[in-house]
Chain A
Amino acid sequence: MHQRGAAEFHGYEMAKTLGDAADTRLLTAYGTLYRALGRLEKMGLVTSRWEDPHVPARENRPGRRLYMLTALGEAAADAARGAETASSPKRARRRLAPA
């Protein structure tokens, strides 16, 4: 999400992005995804807020919980990406290549 420049993302968007990146059909399970997001929030890597209730009411859908990376989260994401690139450059290059 950070690579794509998305400032805020919701849970399903995250699951879909992860599924596309890993090229898997099955999305991350509900329990796994939301537990992980909850832990990231407790660690201070992301913050969350519920979107303005007028937006889902207008679009006739349930409200989304929007997550955003904190400065600490961005630093951690950059560090993780650097470590991943160093450990497996081929794999990282393949992922970053445009479709």
Chain B
Amino acid sequence: MSALLFCALALVRGWTRLSTWRMDPASRDDRRAEIESDLWEFHEDARRRGSSPERIAIHMLARLFAGIPDDVRWRVEYEQEPAHRRPSWLTAAAAAGAAGIAALWVGFLVSTFASLPPLPDSGAVVRVFLRTTPAPPPPPPPPLTPFRVGMSRVQPPPPPPSPR
């Protein structure tokens, strides 16, 4: 199986799982099984006709993307059916819970920022980062040692005689 065909199959299956998420088990399983059967039939039919795996994958993806608006409408229609509509108190509770969590999060952020020390003004920050450092001190002079000039060894001059 080619990588493209593998990706196409995974995308179709993934989208079907997503579009049937949280449906009643019977409708969900029917839809998933129906799409799985269609994928198998199409793959086998195209393979018998000698289509390449890439061609099969592109056709699957085209069928998937062209059908997404209808999948969304189908799901919206399903949710609007009285048998599947969630009770209003449950929707209200979920909305209140989400709003409460959002409020807690905002409160936490506000209290965190309030407890921080005040930020320095930008001028001070620039001065700190652009301050010129003093030049390093010059290195100490090297000690006097005998040195060679050409092939002869040059001795340093003898110290002058001390007066008595």
Contacts and interface: CB of A to CB of B under 8 A. Distances in A.
Interface in B31-69: 31, 33-38, 40-42, 44-45, 59, 62-69
B105 interface: no
B54 to A, nearest CB: 15
Contacts of B12: 30
Given A12-B41, A62-B36, A29 B74 contact: no
Contacts of A75: none
Nearest to A14: B38
Contacts, number: 76
Contact of B38 (A15, A26, A35, A38): A15
Contacts of A16: 45
Contact of B67 (A10, A12, A33, A61): A33
Interface residues of A, number: 23
A45 interface: no
Most chain B CB within 10 A, of A11, A31, A50, is at A31
Contact of A65 (B30, B63, B64, B68): B30
B24 interface: no
A15 B33 CA distance: 17
A31 B67 contact: yes
A32 interface: yes
Given A12-B45, A15-B38, A62 B67 contact: no
A27 interface: yes
A36 to B, nearest CB: 8
B30 to A, nearest CB: 7
